[in-house]
Amino acid sequence: MNRSLFVFLVLLATSLMGSSFAVGKVGLSYVSPLLLVGIRFVLAGGILALAVQLQSRRLPDNLRDWSKLLLIGACQTTAVMGCIFLSMRTIPAGETSILTFMNPLFVVVLGVLFMRLEYRFYQWLGVAVGFAGVFITLGFHLQLSTGTILGLGSAVAWAIATLLVKKWGSGFDNWVLTAYQMLFGGVLLLLLAFSAETPRLVLNWTSLGVILYLAILGSIVQFATWYHLLRKGDPGRTSAFLFLAPFFGVLSGWLILRESIHWYAYVGGLLIFVGIFLVNWTGGRNKK
């Protein structure tokens, strides 16, 4: 892939990921958490599924491939988003973000264990430096609680989904993969919303705007772009760029929510970029 295009797509995907935290926080004033993300992904997946049908894109023709899409959706959408919002019941949102965006580390570890991928020392160092940057950017605080386990669960689920997309993604049309994993994951989230929380929905122009932003930009555009990047590059190296997402989250919190940006956000941002450089500068991965 052309390097300039790669950089643009990475910045697009990670900025949408980061801004979704601030936009979603606005939406929580009007919609209960699991219901909000359930509506978000059912709407996004439904719109995209209709679009791929109208374009006559190639759909899976056997139960095994549909099961793969269901599993990816259960990991990428249901497990990740479910763990994130359940985690935020007991620990701060910033702490949940730190734990969630540990997933590049888990991508490397799980890739070595289950996909026989190899990474060099400086790539591991880059992951560690990037995580340190995320930790510093979000305020130096991390406490042990039940929410911590759920936050780590979101990172592990995201890492598993990343490797599944790398393994199976080439067998699917990119838009079909994006549409149906979101749709399946969103349906599962709605089931959780009506069984694990008391649903609350206040419809007004603000809540509708939030839902549309999260569904179209924060889901359709974000996931399609991210899956395209995963299919074209190494999962560990590409996932290292996820360290940019919480940094964009801090910036969007300042722009949208008028949250303060402290000095440590700049220090953390510098470490994030250093970590990304180390992971990518040392070359690709080799299969045994």
- pLDDT above 70 coverage of the chain, percent: 88
Q: What is the pLDDT of residue 38?
A: 94
The single-letter code of the amino acid at 215 is: A
Q: What is the mean pLDDT of the chain?
A: 82
CA distances from 135 to 12, 112, 139, 215 (A): 22, 24, 7, 28
For 180-217, give one letter per residue: b (16+ CB within 10 A) or e. Answer: bbbbbbbbbbbebbeeeeeeeeeeeeebeebbebbbbb
For 86-124, the DSSP string reads HHTTTS-HHHHHHHHTTHHHHHHHHHHHHS-EE--HHHH
Give residue 128's pLDDT band: very low, low, confident or very high (50, 70, 90). Answer: confident
Q: Which residues, including other chains, have CB under 8 Å from residue 112's CB and lie 6 or more apart?
A: 118, 119
Distance CA 30, CA 158 (A): 27
Q: What is the pLDDT of residue 103?
A: 78
pTM, to two decimals: 0.78
- Crossing angle of the two packed helices 146-168 and 222-232, in degrees rounded to 10: 60
For 172-214, the DSSP string reads S-HHHHHHHHHHHHHHHHHHHHHHHS---B--SHHHHHHHHII
Helix (H) or strand (E) holding 287: strand 286-287
Q: What is the pLDDT of residue 236?
A: 64
Q: Is the pLDDT of residue 287 over 70?
A: no
116 vs 169: which has the higher pLDDT: 169
66 vs 112: which has the higher pLDDT: 66
* pLDDT, tens only, 22-53: 888 888 889 988 999 999 999 999 999 999 98
- Whose tokens are 């289950």? That residue is 114
DSSP-based three-state secondary structure for 286: strand
Q: Which tokens go with 184?
A: 């399946």
Give residue 208's pLDDT band: very low, low, confident or very high (50, 70, 90). Answer: very high
91 vs 57: which has the higher pLDDT: 57
DSSP-based three-state secondary structure for 62: coil
